[in-house]
Structure 1
Amino acid sequence: MSAQYDLVIRGGTVVTAADQFTADIGVVDGVITALAAKLPGGAEEIDATGLMVLPGGIDAHVHLDQPTSDGTKMADDFESGTRSAAAGGNTTVLPFVMQQKGSSLRACVEEYHRKAEGNCYTDVSFHMVVSDPSPQVLGQELPALVRDGYTSFKVFMTYDDLVLNDAELLSVFDVARREKALVMVHAEGNDAIKYMTTRLETEGKTAPYYHAEAHAQIAEREATHRAISHAQLTDVPVVIVHVSGRDPMEQIQWARKRGMKVFAETCPQYIALTKDDLKGLNMDFEGAKYVCSPPPRDSDSQAAIWEGLRDGTFDIFASDHCPFYFDAPQDTGKDNARARTSFKWVPNGIPGVETRMPILFSEGVSNGRISIERFVALTSSNPAKLYGLYPQKGTIAVGSDADFTIWDANKKVTIRQDILHHGSDYTPYEGMQVTGWPVRTILRGETIMHEGKITGDRTRGAHLKRDFSGMGYP
């Protein structure tokens, strides 16, 4: 007698964003077809007794194989980045298509598809970055791409090669409103950062630590308020990404109390690191390993982030995985000749896609700060809902993709570079002890990671087009 299911996962505690229960899960052709107390046999069976079965993680903010303006080399391409994602319990990642000034946005999207094709262990879906809102981009390319299923894009309020002025931001927001797209905003005030950078350099304060001083929370608060004001003026929903502390959080809460559609994202670096990490061993260059924007803040900011994770201020917990080598040849890593002269030349970004879920689980669920259901919402269900992938992704329900993370809530692991799968040559979380770890990752019914070993095929991942559901539009 042939098996009724391709895969049956037995005896695990199934957890969604709403509840948890013990059940068997039946899978046919990569889709969940049954949830029941006891199912008939499957061609493959997995015993999950004593373990949690969660929806596959969705990291909605990662940077892979991205060009840079200064010759620095990004440490992860799609093969290594999605391999690392799978090892960390993720089944879908959302990387950014980086438009370089003067380039066609459509051509950039096509180039990223070429980079990703045949090189993805997980599913992927692209956000776009609009750095050059030319009449061609705003009038033709961006609207057409949104209609083709690229329904979210990011704008920057800082970095000289990416920053948009207020008039450009308003023009982009207006296109988003007309096309029902979702705008993601990197909210830091460029002029304030440049002013602080010049002042610090004049005072001889050039070590990596002073990156955190230059990128002050005041600049993030001001830019967050300005982005929200632009969104209010154009009546468009926005996501404020990688929120680092209390000041920008209060701006988001202010907007929501007035009925505005403002969503918020935060990241592991804002609960696991502080700006003191940028001091390195003794204000030395080791601090460059922790340089990212916005930078980690202080203990009060960490407390504020936990408040926001609990009370719903934050919709999403993403990694902002932006990996560079620390030590690389020909000055292509963080430790390069120019960066040694001033913090302003240190490449901004840290690796984190593989450690995102373990850090939040350990610090949040294991330490009693958030529930397991809230963990699932932040790391899987909410990203799927917000970015138009739900209920195909982000839940365990009949008809959804058979994407699972099987989780050992009691497994203790010390995070070390030598156990991770990313391309970077370091982890900013070296030596951190966590309780709770993914032991198996399953993409559309196929195991792609088991006990820390990648078992999947790098051609397995597919690109996902998205719809407009969940994006804050009627």
Structure 2
Amino acid sequence: MSTPFDLVIRNALVATASDSFHTDIGISQGRIVQLGKQLNRGIEEINAEGRVVTPGGVDAHCHLDEITSGPVRMADDFNTGTRAAVCGGTTTLIPFAAQQRGQSLRTAVEEYRQRAHGQAHVDYAFHLIVTDPTPEVLEHELPELIAEGFTSFKIYMTYDDMKLNDGQILDVLSVAKQHGALAMLHAENADCIQWLTRKLLAAGNTAPSFHASSRPMLVEREATHRAIALAELIDTPILIVHVSGKEAIEQIRWARALGLQVFAETCPQYLFLTAEDLGTDNSYHGARCVCSPPPRDTANQEIVWNGISDGLFTVFSSDHAPFRMDGTQGKRPDGREVSFDRIPNGVPGLETRMALLYSAGVLEGRISLQRFVELTATNPAKTYGLHPRKGTIAIGSDADLVIWDEGLRTLRNDDLHHNVDYTPYEGMQLRAWPGLTLSKGLVLWRDGQFQPHPGHGSLLACGPSSLIPTQRQA
């Protein structure tokens, strides 16, 4: 008698980035070991008949337990953040190890490694955030960390404590080219933002709604154009993160028409929120939706949807940045309402990312099921060097799977599992939600119940990005 599988998922309608097919899925020791009809028995069996099964999501842009300044603290650590991810169908996360000015980059990595150790329910990797590109960082630490599997890093063009000037950006991009790493850029013009902010505050315009006024699309457009030019000078691929609307999108399309390797990411807030969610009066309620770049208008939502459907965007990430509204450590630092420029930037989205795009994208006919898988799982895994272990359903891949339940449900923060006291998508009608989530063959979410396994998740070493030409990977 043949050895049984650890788990068999029967009668699945499997969706990958390239295909859909009916099959059983045989799983042993956390990996997919066989696909086919009428597989041998499993020690455990799950019947997925009539339901879609996709790869577990890969959220390639989220912030967990990051070090912040003053009284502000992120609400989610690696325990609560990965818990929320699992319940929303995401089984791999890539948060950030952020260097502080004056700090060794390696020291930053070790600190975040300790913050995550034994806490995560699912696998994770780290992007680096480079804020202090000293000769030691550029010549030794960054190349060594790339070789150890930290193959992507983020560069900020705004925020005083994180931004790099153009010369520093060129230095970091040069390291990326030389060592086969991928640079992600937050593209907003810091000087324009500072100038507009001073003018708004001097006029007494301090409410959250003025956050959007301080960051119009032209500051994203200019920085996107400049980022493209700097990458062209070095001749290395870049990925522009959290693209919000028409003007930055036009710059990316222009660059691609020239044959430049410029890639893009967008996030749920640019499909489902608008500037009106920041408020239209002096109410502080709009602080919930303060993020950068800010949400735009409904016309720009449609432009972003077009980029989702026509292939402009490579990845769809949450940019989960969890700050609570109540208390003294979140959107009200020290418990006080503050001017828009002092409100911690970011919205929660780890748990809702997959269901929002499945509902409004796939089930409303905007994108195919294959494109959904590509954006939420396969492309992020390829982009950051984790494919085919992650992001697909194939023999040898980790058994990270989502079985979807379709049907109407109202999105309520009370039903979510992050440690944030609101969701900006409160009250939205969804048409699907994960019914079951597996991480490496282990059921962590089933029928509305989370089954915790802190420490089940491991730190992954990333390989070269699929966006980097093969000759540069040598």
1:445 counterpart residue number: 441
Within 5 Å, give how 1:91-240 maps onto structure 2: 91-240=91-240
Q: Take 1:425 and 1:204, find their aligned partners in 2: how far apart are those partners?
A: 29
Q: Take 2:219 and 2:447, find their aligned partners in 1: how far apart are those partners?
A: 43
Q: Alignment partner of 1:62: what SS? A: coil
Conserved 8 A contact 2:274-2:297: yes
2:411 counterpart residue number: 415
1:77-99 Cα shifts (integer Å, max 9, x gaps): 00000000001001100000011
Q: Take 2:468 and 2:250, find their aligned partners in 1: how far apart are those partners?
A: 20
Q: Take 2:431 and 2:249, find their aligned partners in 1: how far apart are those partners?
A: 28
2:308 counterpart residue number: 309
- Inter-CA distance 338–188: structure 2 relative to 1 (3 Å threshold): farther
Q: Alignment partner of 1:61: what SS? A: coil
Q: Take 2:337 and 2:33, find their aligned partners in 1: how far apart are those partners?
A: 57
* 1:29 to partner: Cα distance: 1.1
Gaps of 5+ in 2: none
* 1:473 to partner: Cα distance: 2.4
1:334 counterpart residue number: 331
Q: Take 2:187 and 2:400, find their aligned partners in 1: how far apart are those partners?
A: 33
1:417-436 Cα shifts (integer Å, max 9, x gaps): 11000011111111111101
2:363 counterpart residue number: 366
* 1:117 to partner: Cα distance: 0.8
Amino acid in the other structure paired with 1:288: A
1:44-100 Cα shifts (integer Å, max 9, x gaps): 100101111100100000100001123201000000000000010011000000111
* 1:454 to partner: Cα distance: 1.4
Conserved 8 A contact 1:447-1:456: no
* 1:205 to partner: Cα distance: 1.1
* 1:337 to partner: Cα distance: 5.8
Q: Alignment partner of 1:270: what SS? A: helix
* 1:411 to partner: Cα distance: 2.2
Within 5 Å, give how 1:242-281 maps onto structure 2: 242-279=242-279
Q: Alignment partner of 1:264: what SS? A: strand
Amino acid in the other structure paired with 2:285: E
1:386 counterpart residue number: 383
* 1:204 to partner: Cα distance: 1.4
Q: Take 2:271 and 2:222, find their aligned partners in 1: how far apart are those partners?
A: 22
Q: Take 1:186 and 1:265, find their aligned partners in 2: how far apart are those partners?
A: 11
Runs of 4+ in 1 over 4 A off after TM superposition: none
Q: Alignment partner of 2:12: what SS? A: strand
Q: Alignment partner of 2:331: what SS? A: coil
Q: Alignment partner of 2:287: what SS? A: helix
Equivalent residue for 1:435, pick from 426, 431, 435: 431
1:104-124 Cα shifts (integer Å, max 9, x gaps): 110110111111111001100
Q: Alignment partner of 2:185: what SS? A: strand
Q: Take 1:234 and 1:370, find their aligned partners in 2: how far apart are those partners?
A: 35
Conserved 8 A contact 1:388-1:471: no
Conserved 8 A contact 2:320-2:348: yes
Q: Take 1:108 and 1:261, find their aligned partners in 2: how far apart are those partners?
A: 30
2:459 counterpart residue number: 463
Conserved 8 A contact 1:91-1:122: yes
TM-score, normalization by structure 1: 0.97
* 1:340 to partner: Cα distance: 2.7
Q: Take 2:161 and 2:8, find their aligned partners in 1: how far apart are those partners?
A: 50
- Inter-CA distance 469–164: structure 2 relative to 1 (3 Å threshold): closer
Conserved 8 A contact 2:71-2:333: no
Q: Take 2:127 and 2:317, find their aligned partners in 1: how far apart are those partners?
A: 14
Conserved 8 A contact 1:8-1:45: yes
Amino acid in the other structure paired with 2:194: K
* 1:139 to partner: Cα distance: 1.1
Conserved 8 A contact 1:338-1:345: no
1:472 maps onto 2:468 in alignment: yes
Amino acid in the other structure paired with 2:401: F
Amino acid in the other structure paired with 1:141: E
CA RMSD of aligned residues (A): 1.2
Amino acid in the other structure paired with 1:392: R
Amino acid in the other structure paired with 2:321: C
Q: Alignment partner of 1:463: what SS? A: coil
Conserved 8 A contact 1:96-1:127: yes
Q: Take 2:338 and 2:26, find their aligned partners in 1: how far apart are those partners?
A: 58
Q: How many residues align?
A: 470
* 1:279 to partner: Cα distance: 0.3
Q: Take 2:279 and 2:333, find their aligned partners in 1: how far apart are those partners?
A: 18
Q: Take 1:231 and 1:196, find their aligned partners in 2: how far apart are those partners?
A: 27
1:334-380 Cα shifts (integer Å, max 9, x gaps): 02369634100000011100000011111111111111110000000
Conserved 8 A contact 1:181-1:471: no
Identity among equivalent positions (%) equals: 51
Q: Alignment partner of 1:332: what SS? A: coil
Conserved 8 A contact 1:3-1:43: no
Q: Take 1:469 and 1:237, find their aligned partners in 2: how far apart are those partners?
A: 10
- Inter-CA distance 238–338: structure 2 relative to 1 (3 Å threshold): farther
1:348 maps onto 2:349 in alignment: no
Gaps of 5+ in 1: none
2:286 counterpart residue number: 287
Q: Take 1:122 and 1:311, find their aligned partners in 2: how far apart are those partners?
A: 31
Q: Alignment partner of 2:93: what SS? A: strand
Equivalent residue for 1:397, pick from 384, 394, 398: 394
